[in-house]
Amino acid sequence: MKKSFVLLCCVLGMVGMVYADCPTSVEVLDHCFWDELGIIDPNDVEFTVQIEGDESRESWDGHPTDCDDYQQVSYDLDWSMNGSCGIQDYGIPQGEWIRIKISFGQQEDVYYYKHPLNSECLNGSEVDIVLNADGFSLHVSDCEGFVLANHRSTTPPTGWYPPNPSNMATGSDPNEITWSHAWENNVPEVSYKLWEWDPDEQDYTYIKTVSGLSTRVTSSGFYTVSALLDGISSQQYPSEVQVTYQSPPAPTNLTANSSSYYLSWNHSWEDDLPNDITYKVYVANTSGGSYSLYGTSNSTTKSYRRAGYFKVYAVLDGVMGPASNIVYGSYKGGFPKITNSNEEVPESFEISQNYPNPFNPSTQIDFQVPELISASIKVYDSNGREVTVLANGIFDTGTYSVNWNGRDDFGNQLSTGLYFAHFKAGTFSKVIKMMYLR
């Protein structure tokens, strides 16, 4: 079975001309093969070689140049100083490290390479891929065949840094920062570290790491980014950009549909709506009462299952903007009637088992709160689906009772089965089981 792999080489920085008529001398080595690799003829072996940042090039077909005791063979990448295929033609900066990714089959390795232009022996210096039964490795040697170990590395060498990002600016979202990476082609899996200028420390403070070419910030200030690759950050920061933070704008035109029991509103972004915008819906029993969180929504609508006064806030990157207009939503005349008995001041939160149980047509649930607090009782079916809300609001110290008639939020009679009443007040939470017999 023959293995065929594409040899693609690209070069970082100043890109020179590629000569398609590079001279190659191929020696047929039929005796040099390994069952472990499934190679019949080493002339059929090809690698994928990417020098990150370089433009797309024609494939470089590595060819075998040596076979050592039938155990390994070298493939010349034609990166020598000889003739028109000289290394200068590929624009590799003199004395600088470049990052190379080489693939062969399932093996993929990253190497760092610095061409030996400063060595005593220039002509004939070579870059080879040495392949054996264990895989491959990158070798650099001079014209006399001596391996130049200090010109290749499998870990980031001293003096190597990923290139700085550029073109920092604010995006269409005033809280967004954008930038460009330094690679035109063959972009590696690079991430970026966001920094904010600290005037007290007179230095940049690390904020977070992002994978793309943009991010949003949550405060005003001066920001910059650095590239992060193979655990190494850019040596210097690019130019900074100033952001004047703007909180998410208030939703507008909040309305309540008393037939479908849906709230709806409009967002206030002039440009594209951010993908990760969310909304928080708050409700109060009276227009001037205390508001509590009713729920959240990822769209500009939200169903409601209680009567009350509603308002909505936009939330972006953990920051909540100003409130929308307030609207009253009616709901079947409000909650089931809740009675309050203040004969004794309760000492703890509690919900009692409903009675009667099993029940038909209705049952009573008693609960108590020892302090002023937001509390709720929601009923779920055996599939975990919320079917109705019996209480949801601010309750003063006392003991309360509420009745349930076995109907859902839309007045539909539910089927016989097991239901669960979940009482929640602050951090207190308790569930009771109720059996409804229709």
Over its length of 438 residues, how does the chain's per-residue pLDDT go in tens digits? 333 333 323 332 222 323 233 333 334 444 454 555 556 566 667 777 777 766 544 344 555 666 665 567 776 665 544 333 344 444 455 567 778 888 877 788 888 877 665 444 445 556 777 777 677 777 777 666 666 777 778 888 887 888 888 888 887 777 889 998 877 777 788 899 999 999 888 889 999 999 989 988 888 999 999 999 888 888 767 788 999 888 888 999 999 987 777 899 988 766 566 667 889 999 988 777 889 888 888 888 888 877 889 999 999 888 888 999 999 987 664 445 556 666 678 889 999 999 999 999 999 999 998 888 888 899 999 999 888 888 877 787 888 888 898 988 767 889 999 999 999 998 999 999 999 998
Q: Under 8 Å CB-to-CB from 424, ≥6 apart: which residues? A: 375, 376, 377, 378
Distance CA 301, CA 297 (A): 7
Question: Structural domains in the chain?
Answer: 42-153 (no CATH), 166-243 (2.60.40), 252-329 (2.60.40.10), 338-436 (2.60.40.2550)
Distance CA 146, CA 195 (A): 45
Q: Is the preceding peptide bond at 248 cis, omega within 30 degrees of 0?
A: no
Q: Residue 2: what pLDDT?
A: 33
Q: How many helices (H) and strands (E) does the chain have?
A: 0, 32
Does residue 343 sit in helix, strand or coil? coil
Q: Residue 69: what pLDDT?
A: 56
Q: Residue 17: what pLDDT?
A: 28
> Which H helix or E strand runs over 378?
strand 373-380
Give CA angle at 168 (165, 171), nearest 5°. Answer: 130
| Cα dihedral: 131, 79, 91, 182 (round 10) | 0
Q: Residue 38: what pLDDT?
A: 59
Distance CA 243, CA 241 (A): 7
